[in-house]
A and B are shown apart, each in its own frame.
Chain A
Amino acid sequence: MDALEGLAKLARRAREESTPVFGVSEAVRLRILSERPQATTLIPLGLFGGLSALAASITMALAVQFWNYMTSPVMELVAPLPEIRLW
């Protein structure tokens, strides 16, 4: 008998082996639940965006007002000196 014939004979016998059964349906269900992408809702994202926009608007308004009242320190150098009455 050839070695390959021996292997074929061994395989014939091996195919009769009974294989274990694990009962994986529950474990599979749990893994699918954990790996399934969660449906993302837009409410928290929208809320965050709205609050950010509000904060940015307030900051902008304050910045514009500040800009209007701000005087440049350079202006003092070129501005005519007020006459000082010496007597």
Chain B
Amino acid sequence: MTIAGCQCWPAERGIGLPGAKRSRPDPVAFPGPILYNCSVEHADWSDVAASLRGDDDAYGRLVQRYERPITGLLWRFTRDPVQCEELVQQVFVEAYFSLKTYRGEAPLLHWLRKIATRTGYRFWREKAKEPQERSLPEFDALEEIAAAEEDRLDPAEAAAVLHALLSRLSPDDRLVLTLMYFEECGTKEIAERMGWSRAKVKTQALRARRKMKEIAEREHLLERLGWTL
């Protein structure tokens, strides 16, 4: 989707020159194909600039373009379609009102993922305040899964079981493992998304994995899945 002939911010404007001060061009003042960073796709940038000028259709195009990956990410935070849709809407509304702060240093999707991850994390923290029974109906249903082999296990069921297991952890532990297991994020990416230090993420991951192992062993996960060899 990157436009052929994507133009970087001209060198004479001081960007890209060694030691030159990098400054963000004002999207309102410089609309169009002017990009100071090639990692930002042309279509996104022009839609962002148009949105900042008040073009609602342009923002609608951005929402349509990125709705699927953002929904995919938030589906890891809640498997309730109503709650998930609400979270997706929240992310795009928040992104709209924060659009001025988007500096274009990374693709728009990365920026949206950061907002979505924080939205999901806030959702978990609010849910954690409510007293709730941590039952694992999805987990019990595994008894009925005759197909114990990995390739025969339904992905939706596998995701439901993993989600139910992760829900037993605290929001911080759960976030780190959710991003690691479902999104294949490294500690660096998790730290960037959450604004945490990498050391904190590593410590959190270590602790969360230990807890998760205990839970899996207590629930006899491998036996139920028939993966004991």
Contact = CB atoms under 8 A, between A and B. Distances in A.
Interface of A: 1-4, 6-29, 31-33, 35
A28 B58 CA distance: 13
User: Chain B at the A interface: mostly helix, strand, loop or mixed?
Assistant: helix
A11 B182 contact: yes
Nearest to A13: B158
Contacts, number: 117
A23 to B, nearest CB: 7
Chain B, interface size category, equals 35 or more
Interface stretch (B102-110, B117-125, B191-199, B212-220): B212-220
B101 interface: no
B225 interface: yes
A24 B212 contact: no
B25 interface: no
Given A17-B156, A20-B71, A32-B56, A7 B181 contact: yes
Contact of B184 (A3, A15, A24, A25): A15
Interface of B: 56, 59-60, 63-64, 67-68, 71-72, 75, 81, 84-85, 88-89, 92-93, 96-97, 150, 153, 155-156, 158-159, 161-163, 165, 181-182, 184, 209, 212-213, 216-217, 221-222, 225, 227-229
A17 B79 CA distance: 12
Given A3-B216, A14-B162, 8 more contacts: A4-B209, A10-B153, A10-B221, A11-B162, A18-B156, A28-B60, A28-B93, A28-B96
19 contacts: A3-B213, A3-B221, A8-B181, A10-B161, A11-B158, A11-B162, A12-B150, A13-B155, A14-B161, A17-B156, A22-B71, A23-B67, A24-B67, A24-B89, A26-B60, A27-B89, A28-B60, A28-B96, A32-B59
B155 A14 contact: yes
Contacts of B162: 7, 10-11, 14
A11 to B, nearest CB: 4
